[in-house]
Amino acid sequence: VSKPGVTVLASKISKIYVEEITSKVKAIQNIRPHGPLLVGFLANDDPAAEMYASWTKKTSEDMGFRYELRRIDEKDFLEEAIIEANRDPQVDGIMVYYPVFGNAQDQYLQQVVAKEKDVEGMNHVYYQNMYHNIRYLDSENTLKSILPCTPLAVVKILEYLKVYNNLLPQGNRLYGKKCVVVNRSEIVGRPLAALLANDGAVVYSVDIDNIQKFTRGEGLKFKKHHVEDLGAFSKDLLKQCCSEADVIITGVPSESYKFPTECIKEGAVCINFSSNKNFDETVKSKASLYVPMTGKVTISMLLRNMLRLIENSEKFKNP
């Protein structure tokens, strides 16, 4: 008898967004006759960033965007180059391939990108809205806030896999679901845990030191998630959190790390966003649906964010 687990590829999931985005680019040809312009800044010699850049170029051009890679040989000139792109009315979106300095200066650079052009959704205003479960930028609820693209990609994957229950009201569609997120970086893991908890899930956020629980409380009584420390990381505590988990999401940046298959609840959904394979081949003996990589959906979210920024700026100009 064959195993019931099924692998779902990000390319298949991103297809629906590729169609949506391509037709939106066509629909705004009156204001962007040559396609919206995305500028990527590469200031490191990381071959992974180089590959991601060439892949962004191909994907965005296929959908009718223009993409320009700007290589910055001297890292200290990057800030000026970003400011110049912020001011240039030809540029619709800006992204930077990190790490650049590999320290807190990178967080500073994230805030240098104008929020009106921040396709990755890294601006503090967007982060704070997300953590506080505020979904619009204006009090009239006409300008949607932007979400960081990798956490957003995982949300869209969970929607595709029908973990989100669309019979429930929007904002509560993960009510009753338990999720584990292994990674608590400020780029992916912590915002992701917050997004899922804000949508109603109980989320166990695991990092190398400890495990935390993110929830909106009993009966979703809170408007935004609260965080509780569960204790130091141990395999026993992880096992306990996973025993009822409907979803397990991993993002450990290490080739040797493998999530323990024996901790996966039978029929759980497993998603890996790390560039390393965090699940070994036994995952499908437990998982119902398994998504081994998420990058293709992330890039769709990046381009979708860019269209939303253009839409917001048009609404702002002609309310």
Cα 82 to Cα 22, 57, 179, distances in angstroms? 27, 19, 37
> Which is closer to ligand NAD, CB of 30 or CB of 254?
254
Stretch that binds ligand NAD, among 32-40, 220-228, 253-261, 311-319 (CB under 6 A): 253-261
10 Å CB burial of residue 318 (0-12, 13-18, 19+) is: exposed
Catalytic annotation on 179? no
* Distant-in-sequence, close-in-space partners of 303: CB < 8 Å, separation ≥ 6: 21, 38, 59, 60, 63, 65, 119
> Which is closer to ligand NAD, CB of 207 or CB of 311?
207
> Which is closer to ligand NAD, CB of 82 or CB of 271?
271
Which of 56, 59, 198, 298 forms a contact with ligand NAD (CB under 6 A)?
298
Which of 41, 164, 273, 290 forms a contact with ligand NAD (CB under 6 A)?
273
Which of 54, 128, 275, 285 forms a contact with ligand NAD (CB under 6 A)?
275
Instruction: Determine the Cα–Cα distance for residues 186 and 175; give it in Å rounded to an integer.
Output: 24
Instruction: Determine the Cα–Cα distance for residues 306 and 94; give it in Å rounded to an integer.
Output: 9
Which of 57, 161, 295, 311 forms a contact with ligand NAD (CB under 6 A)?
295
Residues numbered 160 to 219 that lie near ligand NAD (CB under 6 A) are 182-185, 187-189, 206-208
Footprint of ligand NAD on this chain (CB under 6 A)? Answer: 150, 182-185, 187-189, 206-208, 251-254, 257, 273-276, 294-295, 298
Catalytically active residues are: 149
